[in-house]
Amino acid sequence: MNRTKWLDFLALLMISLLVVVATAAVYYSLGMTSTVTTATTDVWFVKGVDNATAGVSLSPQNTSATLTDLKAYPNASFTYTDPLRVKNNHTSSTYQIRLNPVLLSGNDTEFVYVRFLLRNGTYEENATLASLNYTCDGADWTIPPATGWVQIPAGTEYAITIITKAKDNAAAAQVQIEIAVDVQ
């Protein structure tokens, strides 16, 4: 084979390989475009009957609540029966909710416990659907795990009852507890 034919053959071979590699590299591609919008929540907080006693204030969307006037008395349990409620405002959907501890800070040596009870509204002992029980041994707090999931049917409100107790001869103290109500 003469030199010209050999170079032509080599050039043709190189071009063929280039075409094969280029086609194998991108056989085809798929495209996707997404539009994401914000949604309103169907489950939110509403003030309960005892809201003034507990100092309840709600965010504008009712997705967070602050309770500023909770008290714990020495050697006595004090119950805030209905300061705050969780409401499923959807007309037909049932959701799952749970109480979940987020943060505990402050002087913890003067307390015995702070309890958060999710209740179905009848306020009887068997009406408790879930509870977070923060306990203190005089030095350290025991922070509870998240509760199990509880169904909240459409149009239903569940009260969050809070029970506090300080130790005997308790001095002035303050603790801040943040919990979340998870929704799924």
Residue range 172-182, pLDDT digits in tens? 888 889 899 99
Is 182 within 8 Å of 100 (Cβ atoms)?
Answer: yes
Check whether 24 has a pLDDT greater than 60: no
For the question of whether the overall pTM of this predicted structure is more than 0.75, the answer is: yes
pLDDT at 5: 82
Task: Read off the tokens for 176.
Answer: 């801040």
Q: How far apart are CA 172 and CA 149, in angstroms?
A: 36
Report the pLDDT averaged over residues 25-35. Answer: 77
pLDDT at 2: 76
Share of the chain above pLDDT 90, in %: 54
Check whether 6 has a pLDDT greater than 90: no
What tens digit of pLDDT does each residue of 68-119 get? Answer: 899 999 999 999 999 999 999 999 999 999 999 998 887 678 899 999 999 9
pLDDT at 115: 95
What tens digit of pLDDT does each residue of 130-162 get? Answer: 999 999 988 889 999 999 999 999 999 999 999
Phi, psi of 42 (to 5 degrees): -95, -20
Tell me which residue has tokens 């071979």.
13
Is 106 within 8 Å of 134 (Cβ atoms)?
Answer: no
Alpha helices in the chain (DSSP H): 3-25, 51-54
